């Protein structure tokens, strides 16, 4: 069964279950039905049918009364959902200044329908947002003043192309002391914060789906003897990146 086929069969409710299992696995050594029921605030009897369907789709490993775990396919799908949730939640909270609870609720409602193109555009917005001087563009202040005063002045200066990659890397750390480098320049044990993913097409989409979003803190765990792949960890998970993928991730070293 291909990824597109399984994605088509996933309803918003099933995606919510995948997301819940992913988050529980990140914090617990083992996940049971009662853990999922508690996290989702439903009865255990409501969880089993969803797990059965996810097992049929090859998303989870589930035997009645046993521990539940995501398959590789399920893990990839869950990461995609969590990444969309995180970007939407940040947009509502940091840009539109909704309170965290409301921002999270709106993200939950929209994460299921956000297309790859929509995801890409939102991430580019945050790359733009983080690259502007002081990480807080003047136009955003003006936007929030406009919400209350209906007066806005459109002049601001930022050295970033929204549609493409950052033209001048100095814009990424103007008025800052951090140095922007490729993830390849980090050694085992070193940490950095994601600023931009320069890749295009399928590679960029794969990295965004993994959760490599602006402002995410990551660390390099180890390198293969040949230097390819590179194992990184972030948000409680560990992933392997090919050199070409790692090279496209711009970070500021901590």
Distance between CA atoms of 138 and 131, rounded to whole angstroms? 12
Q: What is the CATH number of the domain that holds 53?
A: 1.10.10.10
Across 130-134, average pLDDT: 64
Q: For residues 20 and 70, give the distance between their C-alpha atoms in angstroms, rounded to a whole number.
A: 11
Average pLDDT over residues 130-136: 62
CA-to-CA dists, residue 87 to 81, 94, 143, 212, 236, angstroms: 10, 10, 20, 11, 18
Query: Is residue 142 exposed (0-12), middle (13-18) or buried (19+ Cβ within 10 Å)?
Result: middle
Output the pLDDT for position 171.
45
- Tell me: the pLDDT tens digits for 193-209? 998 898 888 999 999 99
> Is residue 138 situated within a structural domain?
no
**Where does the pLDDT of residue 226 fall: very low under 50, low under 70, confident under 90, or very high at 90 and above?**
confident
- Give 68's DSSP letter: B
Tokens in use for 2? 């291909």
In a domain, 166, yes or no: no
CATH of the domain at 234: 2.30.30.90
Choose one of 25, 49, 77: the last residue of a domain. Answer: 77
In this structure, is residue 181 part of a structural domain? Answer: yes
Query: pTM of the prediction?
Result: 0.75
* pLDDT over 80 (residue 178): no
Least-confidence region, from 34-43, 57-66, 124-133, 134-143 = 134-143
**For the chain, what is the domain count?**
2
pLDDT of residue 200: 87
Placement of tokens 């230097």 in the chain: 227
Answer whether residue 85 is part of any domain: no
Mean pLDDT calculated for residue range 25-48: 89
* 35 found inside a domain: yes
Sign of CA dihedral 239, 243, 247, 251: positive
Q: pLDDT tens for residues 2-29?
A: 444 445 578 999 999 999 999 999 888 7
Residue 228: predicted pLDDT: 85
- 34 found inside a domain: yes
Its domain, for residue 10, covers: 3-77
Cβ–Cβ < 8 Å for 184, 243: yes
Question: If pLDDT is split at 50, 70 and 90, which confidence band does 136 have?
Answer: low
Mean residue pLDDT of the chain comes to 82
Check residue 66 and give its pLDDT: 78
């Amino acid at each position: 069964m291909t990824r597109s086929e399984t994605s088509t069969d996933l309803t918003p409710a099933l995606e919510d279950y995948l997301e819940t299992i992913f988050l529980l696995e990140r914090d617990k050594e083992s996940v049971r039905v009662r853990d999922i029921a508690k996290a989702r605030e439903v009865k255990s009897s409501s969880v089993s049918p969803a797990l059965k369907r996810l097992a049929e789709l090859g998303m989870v490993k589930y035997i009645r009364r046993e521990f539940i775990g995501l398959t590789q396919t399920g893990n990839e799908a869950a990461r995609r959902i969590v990444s969309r949730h995180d970007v939407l939640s940040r947009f509502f909270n940091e840009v539109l200044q909704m309170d965290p609870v409301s921002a999270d609720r709106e993200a939950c409602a929209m994460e299921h329908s956000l297309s790859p193109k929509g995801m890409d555009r939102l991430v580019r917005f945050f790359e733009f947002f983080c690259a502007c001087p002081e990480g807080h563009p003047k136009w955003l202040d003006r936007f929030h003043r406009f919400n209350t005063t209906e007066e806005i002045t459109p002049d601001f200066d930022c050295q970033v192309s929204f549609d493409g990659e950052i033209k001048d890397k100095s814009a990424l750390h103007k008025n800052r002391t951090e140095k922007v480098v490729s993830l390849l320049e980090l050694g085992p044990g070193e940490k950095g914060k994601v600023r931009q993913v320069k890749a295009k097409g399928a590679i960029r989409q794969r990295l965004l789906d993994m959760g490599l979003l602006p402002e995410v803190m990551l660390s390099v765990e180890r390198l293969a003897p040949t230097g390819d792949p590179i194992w990184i960890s972030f948000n409680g998970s560990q992933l392997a990146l090919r050199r070409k993928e790692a090279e496209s991730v711009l970070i500021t070293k901590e």
